[in-house]
């Protein structure tokens, strides 16, 4: 029998001085054979933990940049064209991976 497994991780972290970040990740793994689920549990936890810590780090970096430069300067400094390029390249990489478990 095969099932889909969804894992969500979310937290609100007080970063001091009435500030907080709320990292959140969610993944769904489709068509996992139930006989392999126990063997994959540690790997699934490792992947979601790594994604969650990465999201926490990125949000804290953004928060720090806004504190230092101010929100207006932060948005003025964003390079939307570069962000679109990175996004497109990442989608191409992800779509080329064989995700079969």
**Are 23 and 10 spatial neighbours (Cβ–Cβ below 8 Å)?**
yes
Predicted local distance difference test score (pLDDT) of residue 101: 66
Q: Using alpha carbons, list the distances in angstroms from residue 51 to 17, 36, 80, 95.
A: 26, 22, 23, 18
Exposure letters 49-70 (e unless 16+ CB within 10 A, then b)? eebbeebbeebeeeeeeeeeee
Predicted local distance difference test score (pLDDT) of residue 4: 93
Predicted local distance difference test score (pLDDT) of residue 97: 83
Looking at the DSSP assignment, which residues form a beta bridge with residue 20? 14
H helical segments located in the chain: 37-69, 71-77, 80-96
Predicted local distance difference test score (pLDDT) of residue 99: 75
**Are 2 and 32 spatial neighbours (Cβ–Cβ below 8 Å)?**
yes
pLDDT in tens, the chain (101 residues): 999 999 999 999 999 888 999 999 999 988 888 998 888 899 999 999 999 999 999 999 999 999 999 999 988 888 888 888 988 999 889 888 887 76
């Amino acid at each position: 029998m095969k099932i889909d497994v969804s894992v969500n991780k979310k937290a609100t972290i007080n970063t001091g001085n009435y500030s907080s970040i709320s990292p959140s990740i969610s993944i769904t793994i489709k068509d996992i054979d139930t006989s392999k689920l126990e063997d994959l549990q540690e790997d699934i936890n490792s992947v979601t933990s790594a994604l969650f810590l990465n999201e926490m780090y990125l949000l804290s970096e953004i928060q720090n940049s806004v504190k230092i430069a101010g929100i207006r300067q932060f948005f003025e400094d964003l390079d939307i064209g570069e962000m679109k390029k990175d996004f497109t390249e990442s989608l191409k990489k992800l779509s080329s991976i064989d995700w079969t478990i």
